[in-house]
Amino acid sequence: MTERLVILQTRLQSRSYAAIRRETDLVLPIGPEAMHETKIHGWSACTLGELFQSEEYQIEKEQSQKKIDSLIESLNSFAKRKYPEFDIQIGNYYAFQLWAVIGQIHFNSFIIRSIKKKLDPTLTICYTKAKSEIFMDFRPDPGSIFSEVLSRSGIFNQGQFQIKKISEKIKATTLRERILSALPISVRTLLRRVRDYQKTKSSHHGIYDLLIIGAGGDWLKLRENSAFNRIFRSHFPPYLSDSPKKIASKELFGILNASIKDNDAIPFDLVPLAHAIQSDLDFFAKKSNEVSNSMKSYDAVVTSVLSFPVDNFLAHTAVTVGLPLIVWQHGEKGQSGFDHLSLYTELFYATDFLAYAPVVAEQYIDWLKNYRDIQIHTVGSIEKKIEWVNGETIVYATGKWFKTAVPFLDKPDPDSRLFNAHRIILNFLNDSDYTVVFKANNTPGLNEIPYEFQKIQIEYSKSFTSLLRTARAIILDTPATTLVEACSTQVPVFVLGGRNTYTEEFLSAIKRRVVWCESPEELISDLSNYLKTGSYGADVNDSSYLKKYGANLPSDDLVIKLRSILEDKILHSRSNSIT
């Protein structure tokens, strides 16, 4: 049994705690600042990953997924009861957001039950923010979700825990983040549409009209291709004004609360989410006929990602009136097999999916045969024209932190892995004689860097591709889109594995191009050898990975493929509407 467990999340909380610290305390640091403070003070600590076995984690993950899928269906049924004259699948529209919000609550509940089971502390002292902030309109505040679930879960009696509140706010690391963080999602969405509209150079003489919804991805990159614009006119949906805020019904609250109920306790207040769902449901019903009629102006609807409810509402409406909905892959895929989240952000309503490369297409075909009929095409992606110059800078690009503001991921406790990697790799680089840039992640609120190094430049604002152009070597601890971009050049790349579970086929291909390492120690050994001798344990000219997973093509070649697919789908849609 542990006498006192102290939970810390930030530097300010850690410094406040130092004044009341006891030598027998056990600290559970959540997030990079608390991890860093705990490490430099030498406090006795445990990590999130030490609270449970991997088998327990996987069981809880599966149960969470089942509850979320059940919630999606329950919300669809709720919408049907309220508006039987319309087919408004509000659960589907909110699926990705439900995975993010409800999944977080499940995960935090699991952590607290694991603390009770593993440590059974006499007293738990949890430091947290004095006031929660709404994160992305209705998501839990990453800095306070844990304390709220702890205090409401009923797992510990009132006398067994203390909540100590410290006045703090979500941190923005750049001016852009500070501005965007002050805006609601609806305004940010409008600004993105204005930006995309200004960048899109559609011809007035095209043959077919395409409606771009959600994230445009590679569809937007074709805006400068004259051959594409001679065939297709690109449009964006008219801005749908904010849905009037409605108070959620008692029935809706009951459905949502049932999805997070844990031992008769409701461990989180879902009021913002409930009101958002109720407001959108009523608004979509009001706009349903109007949006259906507007779809008649287009020949097809295209997208790369459908994350937000309004985008899925538009997608569903388009398919309902008989338009093809064509989703073109975005970012890297296939490294870990088929991702269930693709159902929420791509496949609920797609008639066709355009994959970058054969491996991804095969994974989708294999999964979809048990789901629904979607045509899968392999078309490639737009060639990344990154002119690489062999410079003198070592660029280390890192991933984002998760804290406990995350559902169940592929592997538990990614923050401890990331912190350990930073500690070992950055200390090595700081002791070297090379110019080093440490590229922070782009996710606001989850990209803080708590360390300071005399010889390492920490970069928040510049893009990875701009740093890539003059890099002598690239280090990646979270291989994702950055991996595709780096492999599009001849720069030596050193990758730290372990973030996810990867397929053998992926590892076989990528290890021909990059030096893949299973530990930070292995990475700095291989990097040191390369910097001293020039010996690189892979081939910078090998294209096996890109051919299997990226398949970059010149835009003119892509247009030929796309025209064939789109024309076939459009003409088929027209013939069906006539009959």
Amino acid at position 325, single letter:
L
**Mean per-residue pLDDT, 406-431:** 96
Q: Are 404 and 150 in contact (CB under 8 A)?
A: no
Give the per-residue SS3 of 82-135.
HCCCCCCCHHHHCHHHHHHHHHHHHHHHHHHHHHHHHCCCCEEEEEEECCCCCE
- Bridge partners (DSSP) of residue 162 are 125
133 pLDDT band, cuts 50/70/90, is confident
Sketch the domain layout of the chain as residue ranges.
Answer: 185-239+298-382+554-578, 393-550
Range with lowest mean pLDDT among 70-79, 346-355, 458-467, 551-560? 551-560
555 pLDDT band, cuts 50/70/90, is confident
Residue that is written with structure tokens 């999602």 in the block: 185
d(CA 300, CA 510): 36
pLDDT at 438: 97
User: What are 67-109's pLDDT values in tens digits?
Assistant: 999 999 999 999 999 999 999 999 999 999 999 999 999 999 9
- Exposure string for 288-311, b = 16+ CB within 10 A, e = fewer: beebeebbeebbbbbbbbbbbbbb
Range with lowest mean pLDDT among 135-139, 158-162, 322-326? 135-139
Q: Are 471 and 391 in contact (CB under 8 A)?
A: yes
Closest by alpha carbon to 98, among 271, 267, 259? 259
**Mean per-residue pLDDT, 458-464:** 93
pLDDT at 239 over 80: no
User: What are 363-382's pLDDT values in tens digits?
Assistant: 999 888 778 889 999 998 88
Choose between 69 and 246: higher pLDDT: 69
pLDDT at 194 over 80: no
279 pLDDT band, cuts 50/70/90, is very high
User: What are 498-509's pLDDT values in tens digits?
Assistant: 999 999 999 999
Cα angle: 108, vertex 110, 111; to 5 degrees: 65
Distances (CA, A) of 545 to 236, 486, 509, 514, 548: 34, 12, 5, 10, 5
pLDDT at 34 over 80: yes
Q: Are 335 and 495 in contact (CB under 8 A)?
A: no
d(CA 373, CA 10): 48
pLDDT at 177 over 60: no
pLDDT at 224 over 90: no
d(CA 52, CA 563): 52
pLDDT at 417 over 80: yes
What's the chain's average pLDDT? 91
HSE-up (13 A, CA, CB side) for residue 83: 18
Amino acid at position 1, single letter:
M
302's tokens:
């295209």
Q: How many CB atoms lie within 10 A of CB 517?
A: 21
d(CA 287, CA 304): 24
> Is residue 490 classed as helix, strand or coil in its secondary structure?
coil
d(CA 354, CA 326): 7
d(CA 250, CA 261): 16
Give the H or E element holding residue 285: helix 271-294
- Bridge partners (DSSP) of residue 127 are 164
- Name the H helices within 384-519: 414-430, 464-468, 481-487, 504-510
Q: pTM for this one? A: 0.91
Pick the CATH number of 185-239+298-382+554-578 from 1.10.10, 1.10.1060, 2.30.29, 3.40.50: 3.40.50
pLDDT at 443: 84
pLDDT at 198 over 70: no
User: What are 297-333's pLDDT values in tens digits?
Assistant: 999 999 999 999 999 999 999 999 999 999 999 988 8
CB burial of residue 454 (10 Å; 0-12, 13-18, 19+): exposed
pLDDT at 331: 83
d(CA 160, CA 120): 10
pLDDT at 529: 96
pLDDT at 415: 97
Q: Are 355 and 329 in contact (CB under 8 A)?
A: yes
Residue that is written with structure tokens 């609120």 in the block: 445
The domains spanning 185-239+298-382+554-578 and 393-550 adopt the same CATH topology: yes
Q: Edge-to-edge, what's the strand order for the sheet holding 232-235? A: 232-235, 208-212, 300-303, 325-328, 352-355, 375-378
Pick the CATH number of 393-550 from 3.40.50.460, 3.40.50.2000, 1.20.1260.10, 3.30.460.80: 3.40.50.2000
The DSSP string of 324-335 is -EEEE--S--BB
188 pLDDT band, cuts 50/70/90, is low
Distance of CA 449 to the CA centre of its chain: 19
